[in-house]
Amino acid sequence: MDESKVEKSLGELSPKTQYAVFISIWHLVEDAMNRKISRSDIWKTCADAGLEVSYVTFTRMIKKKMAEDATGQIVRYAPRASAKMTSIPATPTAAETADKSGSVATTSGRALEEVRAKNKGKDYSLVARQQKK
């Protein structure tokens, strides 16, 4: 195997995601932060150079990369819980247990059960073709 050919080919590849682009410039971002340059100034400079992420995403990328560097492991964050999320009750509510016999879903479900009972053991594709005739 020709290692120089592989090295040249890999050197020509470009990152496919914005996070991969960020990782490729991480050493520059880290150096700027060590020189006490604000994150917003670093983000503006990176955005002008072609990094297409919001400021919020940029700061999350910094936090993630710093955590990875500190632990030596890849960090995968779980989605944040929204303030709008509510807990699921352990027991069904009155509305959930109420009789919904007049609803469309219940009516169509009953109709489907009747057709299946009537045509039990039959080939459904044949039944459908007969109904189209």
Residue 47 lies in a domain: yes
Using alpha carbons, select from 20, 17, 45, 19 the residue that is nearest to residue 31. 45
Residue 67 lies in a domain: yes
Angle at alpha carbon of residue 64, lines to 63 and 66, rounded to 5°? 65
Residue 3 lies in a domain: no
Residue 78 lies in a domain: no
Per-residue pLDDT tens digits for 23-50 = 889 999 999 999 999 999 999 999 998 8
Q: What secondary structure letter does DSSP report for 14?
A: -
Are 59 and 111 in the same domain?
no
- Whether the CB-CB separation of 77 and 64 falls below 8 Å is answered with yes
Which amino acid, residue 120? K
Per-residue pLDDT tens digits for 54-106 = 999 999 999 988 888 887 777 665 555 555 555 555 566 666 666 565 555 56
pLDDT given for residue 100 in this prediction? 60
Are 61 and 14 in the same domain?
yes
- List phi, psi (to 5°) of 70: -70, -40
Total count of domains within the chain? 2
Residue 33 lies in a domain: yes
Residue 91 lies in a domain: no
The boundaries of the domain holding residue 24 are 9-71
Crossing angle between the packed helical segments 55-71 and 26-34, to the nearest 10 degrees: 90
pLDDT given for residue 89 in this prediction? 55
Rounded to whole angstroms, the Cα distance separating 18 from 8 reads 23
Q: pTM of whole model > 0.85?
A: no
Are 17 and 66 in the same domain?
yes
Are 67 and 118 in the same domain?
no
Largest CA distance in the chain: 79
